[in-house]
A = this chain, B = another copy of it.
Amino acid sequence: MPERTFVKYTFIKVDPEWRRRDPLERAQDKREFAAACNDFAEDHYLRAYSLVGTRGDCDLMVRAATPNLDAIHELHVVLNQSGLMRWADISHSYLSMTKESTYSDEEQPLKPREGSDKKFLIVYPMWKRRDWYLLPGEERMRIMRSHIETGRRHPTIEINTAYSFGIDDQEFVVSFNADDPGEFLDLVQELRGTESSAYTASETPIFTCISTSIERALDALDGETVAAHPTIS
């Protein structure tokens, strides 16, 4: 079995009360959060995204990947030490694993593609209807291949499917790297007409995440720049 990778999506919502704190305190709170992310990123895959302006129920997202679940646990322990997590909640959390697809014959996205530099990451949890799993294997293969064909007509959009059966509420966490949300919108609307789509039980919430650095994602929380403030201590 090829090595698998845990992929954790942690969406954070800041309490409005945090914005009442002194700017120097907020800068320190953000630096501690960024430090935890940057330490993890030295040895592991970590990307940050801003949801400011695209959602109302979360402000930033951290996407961490590693074959070792303990490392993901430790990352969140260290985040809990940061000033920011004294004023923030995890509003959405998705734990998943990469895994070879049954359907595709392409090179497998066994881990989040590190080289991707698209402007947006679109993420959603997904559940199939239970009758999907009772279809014969070749029938599911036929339906999925047609689904995949549609996707291939939009080669600029990269898809990563991760699996959550039994380790989190959803069955899949699907994510897409895209530069043009309009093209992605067209693709999803086109896919509504496929057989595969009729077997979807749920695929919300859908998060349009803006790719950025962890520092810029944090600065979007209060509109102030971490770099502008010297370290307090």
Using CB atoms and an 8 Å cutoff, list the residues of chain A in contact with chain B. 1, 4, 6, 8, 10-11, 15-17, 19-20, 50, 52-57, 69, 72-78, 80-81, 85-93, 95, 97, 99, 122, 130-131, 133-134, 163-169, 171, 176, 181-182, 184-189, 192-193, 195, 197-198, 200, 204-206, 208, 210, 219-224
Contacts and interface: CB of A to CB of B under 8 A. Distances in A.
Contacts of A184: 166-167
A166 B193 contact: no
B92 A19 contact: no
Contacts of A164: 185
Nearest to A36: B223
B185 A167 contact: yes
A50 to B, nearest CB: 7
A78 to B, nearest CB: 6
A184 to B, nearest CB: 5
A80 B221 contact: yes
Given A4-B182, A53-B76, A57-B93, 17 more contacts: A6-B181, A16-B86, A19-B85, A52-B80, A53-B69, A53-B74, A54-B95, A56-B92, A69-B181, A78-B223, A80-B220, A80-B223, A81-B222, A99-B185, A133-B198, A166-B187, A166-B206
Contacts of A73: 50, 52-54, 210, 220
24 contacts: A1-B182, A11-B56, A16-B86, A17-B86, A20-B86, A50-B73, A52-B80, A53-B72, A53-B77, A54-B95, A57-B90, A73-B210, A77-B219, A77-B223, A78-B223, A80-B222, A97-B182, A130-B197, A130-B198, A133-B198, A134-B193, A165-B189, A166-B181, A166-B188
